[in-house]
Amino acid sequence: MKTLTRLTITTALAASMALPALADISNRTITISNGIAESHPVGNGVAAMRECIDEKTEGAWTINAFWSSALGDDLTATQALRSGTQEMVITSSSPLVGIEPALGVFDLPFLFSDSEEADAILDGEFGDFMNERLEAVGLVNLAYWENGFRNLTNSVRPVERLEDFDGMRVRVMQNNIFLDTFQALGTNATPMAFGEVFTALETRAIDAQENPYVTIDTSQFYEVQGYLSATQHAYTPFLALFSGPIFNTYSETEQQILRDCAVVGRDVQRSVSRELSDVSLANVQAAGMQFNEISAEEMDRIRAAVEGVYATHADSIGVDVIDRMQAELNALRGN
């Protein structure tokens, strides 16, 4: 009887300790907007995040994900977060520099050497520093996911040297750093929302676009582009952004669930993205795209052509932001 009493008391105490957490979880529906297709690794990340949330909330939350800009482009969706009319968007950092100019640091050409270096910066103190700036404009970055290294496709010719960029009509993301980078390379750069790119390529309104291999594959750009060149000119992260006004109405328990499950989604999404990068490159070649790498000598010429972009945008990004990024990169590289 004493043993049974002790077990009953222990069980009751455990239940009472769990009750506050459960009581802090309300029934909620969370809408997630994406500019890319569900077949992209972001789809795997969202699935992992949904599973995590379902487990932690015991099914109290419903996650509704919308793909391929079904709810509008990423900038429009992000503005909806700031106004508190939508919960979440997973977006590249690049369209958001008009909201937080410091995000432009991620668009600077040839910033990161590899994905491991990018992870260390994004998941470390610099990433926290950027998250604080985002919170000041009404956005909560739950985690940095991966968009990846960007490469050029076009319907004109292989890009094997600097001069091959000349006159090419290239779609770039809607920010001035990408615009200036590609203008410095001699192209006719055209800012455009991602959801409009396929049709613009198909109708030959533009000749070219630039994205990671997985996005090129999952967006089926091989249907309207003949050439793929390994420029790796930029690495851009995805941000798993949540509405600041809505986030502030959640309990601390709910806020932590969002953060924890976004990290679970991040780890799955990054892993799948990296596994699929080589697969996607093979896929687009099998679909008929002509692929080429660029010699080290020509890559040096290309990098030199865009060096001025750093100085041009130092004031808009913030000299302190660029200096902080470069200091952390130097520390990582042992410089």
Higher pLDDT, 261 or 2: 261
Q: Is the pLDDT of residue 36 over 90?
A: no
pLDDT digits (tens, 9 = 90+) for 163-215: 999 999 999 988 899 999 999 999 999 999 888 999 999 999 999 999 999 98
Mean pLDDT within 111-136: 96
For residue 158, give the 3-state DSSP assignment: coil
At residue 10 the predicted structure's pLDDT band, cuts being 50, 70 and 90, is very low
At residue 159 the predicted structure's pLDDT band, cuts being 50, 70 and 90, is very high
Identify the pLDDT of residue 216: 95
Identify the pLDDT of residue 37: 86
Q: Is the pLDDT of residue 150 over 60?
A: yes
Identify the pLDDT of residue 27: 97
pLDDT digits (tens, 9 = 90+) for 62-108: 999 999 999 989 999 999 999 999 999 999 998 899 999 999 999 99
For residue 57, give the 3-state DSSP assignment: helix
Identify the pLDDT of residue 18: 45
Identify the pLDDT of residue 225: 98
Average pLDDT, the chain: 92
Identify the pLDDT of residue 23: 66
Higher pLDDT, 60 or 148: 60
At residue 13 the predicted structure's pLDDT band, cuts being 50, 70 and 90, is very low
Q: Is the pLDDT of residue 2 over 60?
A: no
Beta strands, E only, the chain: 28-34, 61-66, 88-92, 139-154, 169-172, 188-191, 208-211, 227-243, 290-292
Distance CA 82, CA 84 (A): 5
Of 193, 220, 221, 219, the closest CA to residue 207 belongs to 221
Q: Look up tokens 């900038």; give the residue.
A: 75
Mean pLDDT within 16-26: 61
Identify the pLDDT of residue 95: 86
Q: Is the pLDDT of residue 284 over 60?
A: yes
At residue 275 the predicted structure's pLDDT band, cuts being 50, 70 and 90, is very high
Q: Is the pLDDT of residue 245 over 50?
A: yes
CATH 3.40.190.170 assigned to domain 28-333? The reply is yes
Of 32, 42, 96, 91, the closest CA to residue 214 belongs to 42
Question: Any idea what DSSP says for residue 296?
Answer: H
Mean pLDDT within 266-287: 96
Q: Is the pLDDT of residue 19 over 70?
A: no
At residue 21 the predicted structure's pLDDT band, cuts being 50, 70 and 90, is low
Please, what sign has the CA dihedral across residues 31, 34, 38, 43? negative
Mean pLDDT within 215-233: 96
In the numeric block, which tokens belong to residue 153? 């496709």
